[in-house]
Amino acid sequence: MLRFANPEFLLLFLLIPIIVLWYLRRNRVRTGTIKYSNLGLVKNVDKYSNRKKYRHVTFVLRLIALSLLILCFARPQSGRTEEEVITEGVDIVIALDISSSMLAEDFKPNNRLQAAKLVAADFIRGRRNDRIGMVVFAAKSFTQCPLTLDYGILLNFVGEVEIGMIEDGTAIGMAIANAANRLRDSKAKSKVIILLTDGQNNRGQLDPITAAKVAKAFDIRMYTVGVGKRGEALYPVDDPIFGKRYIRRPVQIDEEMLKEIANITNGHYFRATDKENLDKIFERIDELEKTKIEVKQFTRYKELFTNYLLLALGVIVMEVVLTNTKFRKIP
């Protein structure tokens, strides 16, 4: 971006056409006579006729120098616009159940875990300037990925999550405690745990309600998601004789507990009965936890007049040299 700090000096360009008219008028009326004692001196005038064609070069150089000096007075500046982004980010930990019940295939064409991984990955890709981490749990809980802004690394960790990584069971209380531990020292404006489970707490040394109260003490909000259709669902079973087969089992999600956890931490409880519903839940959470972004725009200017000044001096030197050499006038 180019601007002039003192644009009023650009009005001096109005003098240029006046100077040109004065020069043309002066050359039209100006005449002179020279007396020669010997006409032989003017016989070779033709070979100097080319110089006559370019006799106005010095005047043009003066105009160029004057124009450049006017630009110097106007102080041209080049500007570079920069932005300062101020964010009040959100720190989010996704706590994902990887117990064997997540193999239930009621989220066609995927099982529950595959659907949860796909939706979580889309949620991560849609965030900006937020630190996100992941905790996985079954009979025990561990951190799959700490809080990070490197979403590429986090997505790789999400892709590596599999059932069987941990002894089977559902330790919801330990998952909440682990996720809260990751967030307790956070300085973010908002601290959030998104808990996805399809079962009931049956393992671990800490019950979910006590863990939720701990999370509340650290000012952490929890969104709990019950994953699974209502009624019964098909579960794959590896039979040593007949191979893989499916059995029907009732879907047992402790919704009352998940609702109480959400209420204790001023969050929300959601029920996802299919992948489309799970997508909408994460979209809803995304809307509830918007990151505040403030953008301050400013422009840095760099003075350019020295460039024009040096160029003008160069033109003046050229004009002086030509005036006193090639286009020298006889007094």
What confidence tens digit (pLDDT) does each residue in 229-272 have? 988 888 888 777 767 788 888 999 999 999 999 999 999 999 99
For the chain, domains (ranges, CATH) are: 2-30+47-81+298-323 (no CATH), 90-290 (3.40.50.410)
Average pLDDT value for residue range 33-60: 63
- Residue 273: name the closest of 251, 301, 294, 302 by CA: 251
Residue 293 has pLDDT above 60, yes or no: no
The answer to whether residues 204 and 173 touch, using CB atoms and an 8 Å cutoff, is: yes
Residue 98 has pLDDT above 80, yes or no: yes
What confidence tens digit (pLDDT) does each residue in 109-124 have? 889 999 999 999 999 9
- The percent helix, strand, coil of the chain (3-state, each to 5) is 45, 25, 30
The answer to whether residues 225 and 272 touch, using CB atoms and an 8 Å cutoff, is: yes
Residue 50 has pLDDT above 60, yes or no: no
As a whole number of angstroms, the distance between CA 195 and CA 251 comes to 18
Residue 48 has pLDDT above 80, yes or no: no
Q: What is the pLDDT of residue 290?
A: 73
CA-to-CA dists, residue 42 to 46, 53, 96, 279, 325, angstroms: 9, 18, 104, 98, 20
Residue 300 has pLDDT above 70, yes or no: yes
As a whole number of angstroms, the distance between CA 158 and CA 152 comes to 10
pTM above 0.75, yes or no: no
pLDDT confidence bin for 47, thresholds 50/70/90: low
Cis peptide upstream of residue 7 (ω within 30 degrees of 0): no
State the chain's mean pLDDT as an integer. 85
Q: What is the pLDDT of residue 62?
A: 85
* Helices (H) then strands (E): counts for the chain: 10, 11
Residue 68 has pLDDT above 80, yes or no: yes
Burial of 18 (0-12, 13-18, 19+ CB in 10 A): exposed
As a whole number of angstroms, the distance between CA 97 and CA 162 comes to 10
Question: DSSP labels for 259-327?
Answer: HHHHHHTT-EEEEESSHHHHHHHHHHHHHHTPPEEEEEEEEEEEE-HHHHHHHHHHHHHHHHHHHTTTT
- Say how many Å lie between the first and final Cα of the chain, rounded: 50
Q: Strand order of the sheet with strand 190-197?
A: 141-148, 131-137, 90-97, 190-197, 220-227, 268-272
Q: What is the pLDDT of residue 93?
A: 97
